[in-house]
Amino acid sequence: MIYKSNKSNKSNRSELRQDLVSGDWILIAPKRGKKPQTFLADRSNRTNKTYKSYRPKKNCPFENPLKSHKPILVYESKRGWELVVVENKYPAVVHHKVCADSFRDGPYLVAEGIGHHDVIITRDHDKNFVDLKPSQANQVFEAFRDRYLMLLDDPCLAYISIFHNWGPAAGASVYHPHYQLLALPVVPPDIKHSLTGSLNYFKKYRRCVHCDIISYEQREKKRIIYENDGAVVFTPFVSREPFELRIFPQKHLPYFENTLDLELGYAVEALQTGLRKIKSKLSDPDYNFFIHTAPIQNKNKYKNYHWHIEVIPKTNISAGFELGTGIEINPVDPDEAAKILKK
């Protein structure tokens, strides 16, 4: 299939765009907001200066995690520990030696919250992911992969979620840079939507929907903000949030945990580059990034999937329309967002 681009001037036109994978509708409404430059100035004024400037190491729970936590994995250098994986002291799910039991509560289906909730902590108190050396950033993702592989044989698990919250608006309660891994007994709904949409597209066209999206973006050259030999970063045509980013390995890889060092390194470099652009152009906003990958079970079922990283800067607030309809309003056209980030 050859996709044709609409070359008409639509910079000031509202559009309902349907996500190619999930089928969700997103409303791009440039006239609803202000000019992107004014939007960025407002964003700069709203930045949480207290959180970013108040950085006490004293009493930081992650400053010496080998004493305060029971380590699962430790990565060391000549100066000592560089990165540790520990159990979260305040877990969302708790590990037991039995699988989660499901039962009915009236008409409702309930499953016990059994799984794993880990924290990945890097050593330097003031170096968030964007500020790490390439080798340190690679080590973070290698730790993700190592811990992921440790959990694969657990028959009780269905999906492993890996994410990073930066700043209070993104849900971070501790300044010291850290990342989280939640292993769950169910496949989350957003992942299910992505898997179903990818499978339906494959059944219809016999191709990976994400590979087709990557190819289209590379031909259009409008929304790509960075590309290396193995990964690409772009603002999605159907962006739910202003300045949202997607990072894809260019090689078709369904499973994050099976990604080799070379491809993983390309993806890490691309992620760091995208985050640097967000930090410099958007006045260092709070953000979340997370990995979408195929589930643990039924490996042969998801060969058409393509793992990737999504970055969501916290620059917008969902209100009544979004909450009442499930349609997000994005006041910044992804084409304009890409232009700003590429400058």
pLDDT digits (tens, 9 = 90+) for 138-173: 999 999 999 999 999 899 999 999 999 999 999 998
88 DSSP 8-state letter: -
The alpha carbon of 295 is separated from its chain's Cα centroid by a whole number of angstroms, namely 16
Whether residue 212 sits in one domain with residue 143: no
Q: Is 242 exposed, middle or buried, given 0-12, 13-18 or 19+ CB atoms closer than 10 A?
A: buried
Is residue 168 in a domain?
yes
Whether residue 254 sits in one domain with residue 160: no
pLDDT band at 40 (very low <50, low <70, confident <90, very high): low
pLDDT band at 292 (very low <50, low <70, confident <90, very high): very high
pTM of the model: 0.89
Contacts of 153 (CB under 8 A, 6+ apart): none
Which residue range is the domain that position 329 belongs to? 15-51+187-342
Q: Which carries the bigger pLDDT value, residue 254 or residue 11? A: 254
CB burial readout 90-114, b (16+ within 10 A) else e: ebebebeeeebeeeeeeeeeeeeeb
- Helix (H) or strand (E) holding 28, with range, is strand 25-28
pLDDT band at 109 (very low <50, low <70, confident <90, very high): confident
- Helix (H) or strand (E) holding 233, with range, is strand 231-234
Whether residue 226 sits in one domain with residue 165: no
Residues 23-46 have a mean pLDDT of: 62
What three-state secondary structure class fits 210?
helix
pLDDT digits (tens, 9 = 90+) for 251-274: 999 999 999 999 999 999 999 999
Question: Do the beta carbons of residue 298 and residue 304 sit within 8 Å?
Answer: no
- Amino acid residing at 115: G
Whether residue 192 sits in one domain with residue 45: yes
pLDDT at 343: 82
Whether residue 138 sits in one domain with residue 87: yes
Task: Pick the last residue of a domain from 160, 184, 208.
Answer: 184
Residue 86 has φ and ψ, to the nearest 5°, of -135, 165
Using only C-alpha atoms, what is the Rg of the chain?
A: 20
**Count: domains in the chain:** 2
Question: Do the beta carbons of residue 118 and residue 85 sit within 8 Å?
Answer: yes
Is residue 8 in a domain?
no
Whether residue 304 sits in one domain with residue 199: yes
**Tokens in use for 123?**
């050593």
Question: Do the beta carbons of residue 92 and residue 182 sit within 8 Å?
Answer: yes
Alpha helices, H only, 70-125 = none
Residues 277-306 have a mean pLDDT of: 94
Residues 84-95 have a mean pLDDT of: 91
3-state secondary structure string across 271-306: HHHHHHHHHHHCCCCCEEEEEECCCCCCHHHHCCCC
pLDDT band at 314 (very low <50, low <70, confident <90, very high): very high
Instruction: Identify the bridge partners of residue 292 per DSSP, sorted by sequence position.
Output: 308
Task: Pick the last residue of a domain from 167, 184, 201.
Answer: 184
> How far apart (Å, rounded) are the C-alpha atoms in residues 79 and 84?
14
